[in-house]
Every structure is written in structure tokens, then in C-alpha cells.
């Protein structure tokens, strides 16, 4: 559905006005989000100001997981229906997902030192997140190393194998005894995060999502230009 929409409105999406709107929305969300996260929101009763790391860590993890899931769904379409537009969309989504995965790992480590007392723990949540990072790296590398058709097939297979890891990351904290805390926000039972801390969390999530869209648009345009310059109608 969404992808058909993208295909139909290709001209609107690649237009500079659309990009400008996204940039403006991103700047608004980021400024409000940072202001809320760093100044307005209260510090935590246990971890005091270290809680502010969460406003970067959690949205980054959410975004990187969602982007990988989208790439996997697109890859399924690529392998089954040989849809050429999906190839460019999936390829253009990967870099921002990769960066947010890296941010989630690094900020988690920075948070872990003052609260847990360690930079790194081989705990199921953290290890599975590292595995996702490796899959992102392999996915991006496969586009660089292999030739056109081979790269499309190999990267799509990688995305499909890697997506098995996504539910493992999500439920690792419920299935096993982990050092990482369980999810605070559950769809059915509400949030274990106080409402004054939710506003910055959602604003930061929105701004990260807009940032991903922005990077996606830039990458998508470059890929289209690359195709045009090669004078190829096929990939």
C-alpha cells in the first residue's frame, strides 16, 4: 500500500519542496525535543540526569528496528516480484538505519557505565542488537562488493535472514533473564515511564524518523540520478 503510494507519487517525493517541508518539520521537532529532553523534563528519582540518555537511545533503537523490518518486507517483494523500485527504496533506507543502530549501541554503553557499572555486558538484548548491527554492515557491504544483479539478490537474502533477529531483540528481555530492563512502553498495559518524560521521548522519536526520511530522500534521489546517467532503464 505505502509502497504503491510512493511509486505513484514519485514526482512529489523527489521534488525539492517536499524535502524542504521535511527539513523544516525535522528542525522543529528536534529543537522542541531537545529543549524538552535537556531542560523541561525532570531528572529520574534513581539515575538522576543519566535518564536523559534514554531520549536518544530508545528512539534510535526503535528507528533502526523499524527500518530493518521495512527493508526485509521490501526484500521479500524484490525476491518474489522482482520489483525494481523496491530495490532503490530498500537500498536508500539502509544507511540511516545503520547509523541509528550504532547510536543505540553507543548511547546504551554510555548509559550502562554510570547505572549498571559496566560499559558492555554479553546480555541477550545487547548481543542481539550487536547481531543486527552486523547484519546492517553486511547488507551495506553487499551493495559495494557485488555487481548489480548479484548485489540485489544477496542483500535481499541477508535482509530476510536478519529479520528473524528482530523479534528476538524485541522479546529478549521477556524470554531470558537479562541485565537490560524490560520494555517500559507496552501497547496493552500503558507506560512505566512518567508522562512528563514521554513528551521528549516521542518528540525525539519523531525527529529521528524525519531525519531518516530526509537521508532516505537524498539517497533515493542520488540513486535515481545514477540510473539516469548510466542511461539504463533496467537495474
Partner 1 sequence: MYGKKVKLRIIFISSVFITLILSVYIILKLLDDNIVYFKSPTEIKKLSDIDKKKIRVGGMVKKDSINFEKESISFIITDFKNDLAVTFSGSVPNLFQEEKGVVAEGFLKDQNFFVADKILAKHDENYMPPEVSKSLGN
The three-class DSSP label of residue 191 is strand
Smaller CB separation from partner 1, 114 or 225: 114
The distance of closest approach from Cβ of residue 100 to partner 1 in the complex, given in angstroms and rounded to an integer, is 21
Find out whether 198 and 191 touch, Cβ atoms under 8 Å: yes
Please report whether residue 54 would count as binding partner 1 according to CB under 8 A.
Answer: yes
Please report whether residue 21 would count as binding partner 1 according to CB under 8 A.
Answer: no
Of 29, 37, 51, 74, the one binding partner 1 by CB under 8 A: 51
Please report whether residue 42 would count as binding partner 1 according to CB under 8 A.
Answer: yes
Distances (CA, A) of 211 to 30, 104, 123, 147, 160: 9, 15, 30, 29, 25
Please report whether residue 193 would count as binding partner 1 according to CB under 8 A.
Answer: yes
Find out whether 112 and 146 touch, Cβ atoms under 8 Å: no
The distance of closest approach from Cβ of residue 185 to partner 1 in the complex, given in angstroms and rounded to an integer, is 9
Smaller CB separation from partner 1, 59 or 124: 124
Stretch that binds partner 1, among 99-107, 115-123, 133-141, 204-212 (CB under 8 A): 115-123
Please report whether residue 5 would count as binding partner 1 according to CB under 8 A.
Answer: no
Task: Please tell me the distance from the alpha carbon of residue 23 to that of residue 191, in angstroms, as a whole number.
Answer: 30
Stretch that binds partner 1, among 131-139, 146-154, 174-182, 215-223 (CB under 8 A): 174-182
Please report whether residue 122 would count as binding partner 1 according to CB under 8 A.
Answer: yes
Please report whether residue 168 would count as binding partner 1 according to CB under 8 A.
Answer: yes
The three-class DSSP label of residue 43 is coil
The three-class DSSP label of residue 124 is helix
User: Going residue by residue from 72 to 111, which x/- string records binding to partner 1, judged by CB under 8 A?
Assistant: ----x--xxx------------------------------
Distances (CA, A) of 218 to 15, 41, 142: 11, 33, 20
Please report whether residue 222 would count as binding partner 1 according to CB under 8 A.
Answer: no
Task: Please tell me the distance from the alpha carbon of residue 177 to that of residue 78, in angstroms, as a whole number.
Answer: 38
Q: What DSSP character marks residue 51?
A: G
The distance of closest approach from Cβ of residue 124 to partner 1 in the complex, given in angstroms and rounded to an integer, is 5
Find out whether 142 and 158 touch, Cβ atoms under 8 Å: yes
178-186 long-range contacts, CB within 8 A, separation 24+: 178/123, 178/124, 178/125, 179/116, 179/121, 179/123, 179/126, 180/123, 180/124, 180/125, 180/126
What residues line the site for partner 1 (CB under 8 A)?
A: 42-47, 51, 54, 76, 79-81, 114-118, 121-124, 160-161, 164, 168, 176-179, 181-184, 192-194, 196-197
Amino acid at each position: 500500500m505505502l509502497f504503491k503510494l510512493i511509486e505513484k507519487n514519485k514526482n512529489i517525493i523527489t521534488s525539492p519542496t517536499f524535502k524542504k517541508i521535511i527539513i523544516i518539520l525535522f528542525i522543529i521537532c528536534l529543537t522542541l525535543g531537545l529543549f524538552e529532553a535537556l531542560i523541561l523534563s525532570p531528572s529520574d528519582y534513581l539515575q538522576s540526569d543519566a535518564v536523559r540518555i534514554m531520549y536518544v537511545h530508545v528512539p534510535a533503537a526503535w528507528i533502526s528496528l523499524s527500518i530493518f523490518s521495512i527493508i526485509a518486507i521490501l526484500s521479500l517483494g524484490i525476491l518474489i516480484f522482482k520489483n525494481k523500485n523496491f530495490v532503490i527504496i530498500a537500498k536508500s533506507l539502509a544507511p540511516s538505519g545503520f547509523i541509528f543502530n550504532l547510536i543505540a549501541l553507543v548511547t546504551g554503553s554510555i548509559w550502562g557505565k554510570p547505572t549498571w557499572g559496566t560499559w558492555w555486558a554479553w546480555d541477550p538484548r545487547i548481543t542481539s542488537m550487536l547481531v543486527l548491527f552486523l547484519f546492517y554492515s553486511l547488507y551495506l557491504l553487499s551493495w559495494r562488493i557485488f555487481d548489480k544483479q548479484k548485489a540485489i539478490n544477496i542483500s535481499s537474502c541477508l535482509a530476510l535472514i536478519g529479520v528473524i533477529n528482530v523479534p528476538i531483540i524485541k522479546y529478549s528481555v521477556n524470554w531470558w533473564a537479562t541485565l537490560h530492563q524490560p520494555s517500559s512502553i507496552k501497547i496493552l498495559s500503558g507506560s512505566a515511564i512518567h508522562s512528563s518524560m514521554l513528551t521528549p521521548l516521542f518528540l525525539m522519536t519523531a525527529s529521528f524518523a524525519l531525519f531518516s526520511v530526509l537521508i532516505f530522500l537524498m539517497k533515493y534521489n542520488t540513486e535515481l540520478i545514477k540510473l539516469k546517467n548510466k542511461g539504463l532503464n533496467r537495474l
